[in-house]
């Protein structure tokens, strides 16, 4: 990747925080946001698995083409997979722990996504807060979704203000007013742009955007972005996007949504030619309504730290593996990776 061309780095990219202050600020950002999120959504922290058995149907299939990291377990003679996310596991956990309606859980999710294309915002190492909340069937609607989005954005804004007070070299702020728009409305507004270009355009105008309805086909026959068919309801999900001036682009902070019920699950499995999954334990529990109705999402920890600390590359806030040529190029440009 040419960072000169892709992101307009000048070679005069002065770090606003030294390495040690960066490490201190990472902890402050994570601790502060985690606490605010738990309070805002009434969530309890739980422990979560790093790996699962494939035949449970619990692993997140993401776009359906990514290869999970797998390994055999000597003592059981079975193969396990590193989770891609905990989207389905969390919903099962809600029922297991008997969370009442309007309460939920959150956890630290760590994963390895071996097929991720690495750049400023993407790493093969994934760390995020995965959260899930028990809701009533009547709350499976857009208004409930929007209200939850507003609460999360407020947590982001308050965390950024706290970080700025502690580290005066940081000056950016989050726009707390969320602009809501559907993927179809966005397509009609910018019919000649690609999906990512549409996201950039709308975020540059409104700063903080929640894009509703990701996964299903649009009027042009394409999908805005792929989503697995068996956790989010494609009509009741979306992404929190912010305009991030240092990179001159939209940055996705969270993918979230109200989860599938029987009707939406079967529709989405059919649309993706994945009806063979419906007999897996997780999918049967949705069809038979033996697990709670829920909503949930993932919020990238390193992604949050990148924007909170006003960095240019995710490798400045997490220790991972990068291409040798990228490490050399970024160093020349004043970007110091952990």
**Which one of 132, 200, 239, 310 is the catalytic residue?**
239
Who's near 124: CB < 8 A, 6+ residues apart?
112, 113, 114, 116, 118, 320, 321
Which residue shows structure tokens 């970080």? 163
Sheet holding 79-82, edge to edge: 51-52, 79-82, 70-72
Catalytic, 128? Answer yes
Does residue 23 carry a catalytic annotation?
no
**In the 8-state DSSP scheme, what is residue 66?**
P
- What are 21's two structure tokens? 């202050």
How many degrees, rounded to 5, is the angle at CA 167 between CA 166 and CA 170? 130
Do 105 and 46 touch, CB atoms closer than 8 A?
yes
Q: Helix or strand or coil: residue 142?
A: helix
Q: Which of 85, 123, 254, 255 is the catalytic position?
A: 255
Active site residue 113: yes
Across 194-230, b (16+ Cβ under 10 Å) vs e yields: ebeebbbebbeebbbbbbbbbbbebeeeebbbebbbb
- Distance of alpha carbon 227 from alpha carbon 268, whole angstroms: 10
- From the candidates 34, 85, 91, 113, which is the catalytic residue? 113
Name which of 55, 108, 121 is nearest 317 in CA terms. Answer: 121
Whole-angstrom distance, CA of residue 118 vs CA of residue 107: 25
**Catalytic residue of the set 34, 91, 123, 128:** 128
252 belongs to the catalytic site: yes
Which tokens go with 65? 């083409």
Verify whether residue 318 is a known catalytic residue. no
**245 three-class SS:** helix
- As a whole number of angstroms, the distance between CA 165 and CA 158 comes to 11
Q: Is 336 among the residues known to form the active site?
A: no
Spatial separation of the C-alpha atoms in residues 198 and 224, rounded to whole Å = 10
Which positions are catalytic? 60, 113, 128, 239, 252, 255
């Amino acid at each position: 990747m040419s960072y000169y061309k892709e992101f307009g780095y000048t070679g005069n990219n002065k770090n606003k925080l030294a390495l040690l202050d960066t490490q201190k600020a990472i902890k402050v950002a994570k601790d502060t946001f985690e606490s605010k999120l738990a309070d805002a959504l009434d969530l309890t922290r739980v422990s979560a698995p790093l790996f699962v058995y494939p035949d449970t149907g619990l692993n997140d299939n993401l776009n359906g083409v990514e290869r999970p990291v797998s390994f055999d377990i000597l003592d059981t003679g079975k193969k396990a997979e590193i989770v891609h996310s905990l989207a389905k596991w969390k919903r099962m956990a809600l029922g297991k722990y008997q969370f009442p309606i309007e309460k939920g859980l959150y956890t630290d999710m760590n994963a390895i996504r071996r097929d991720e294309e690495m750049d400023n915002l993407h790493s093969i190492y994934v760390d995020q807060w995965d959260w899930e909340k028990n809701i009533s069937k009547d709350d499976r609607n857009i208004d409930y979704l929007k209200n939850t989005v507003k609460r999360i954005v407020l947590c982001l804004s308050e965390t950024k203000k706290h970080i700025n007070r502690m580290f005066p070299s940081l000056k950016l702020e989050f726009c707390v007013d969320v602009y809501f728009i559907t993927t179809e409305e966005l397509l009609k507004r910018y019919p000649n742009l690609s999906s990512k270009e549409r996201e950039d355009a709308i975020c540059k105008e409104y700063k903080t955007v929640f894009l509703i309805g990701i996964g299903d086909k649009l009027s042009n026959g394409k999908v805005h972005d792929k989503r697995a068919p068996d956790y989010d309801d494609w009509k009741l999900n979306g992404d929190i996007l912010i305009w991030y001036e240092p990179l001159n682009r939209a940055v996705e902070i969270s993918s979230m949504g109200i989860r599938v019920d029987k009707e939406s699950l079967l529709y989405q499995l059919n649309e993706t030619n994945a009806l063979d999954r419906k007999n897996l334990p997780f999918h049967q529990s949705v069809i038979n309504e033996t697990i709670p109705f829920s909503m949930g999402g993932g919020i990238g920890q390193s992604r949050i730290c990148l924007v909170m600390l006003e960095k240019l590359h995710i490798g400045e806030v997490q220790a991972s593996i990068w291409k040798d040529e990228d490490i050399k190029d970024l160093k020349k440009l004043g970007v110091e990776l952990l």
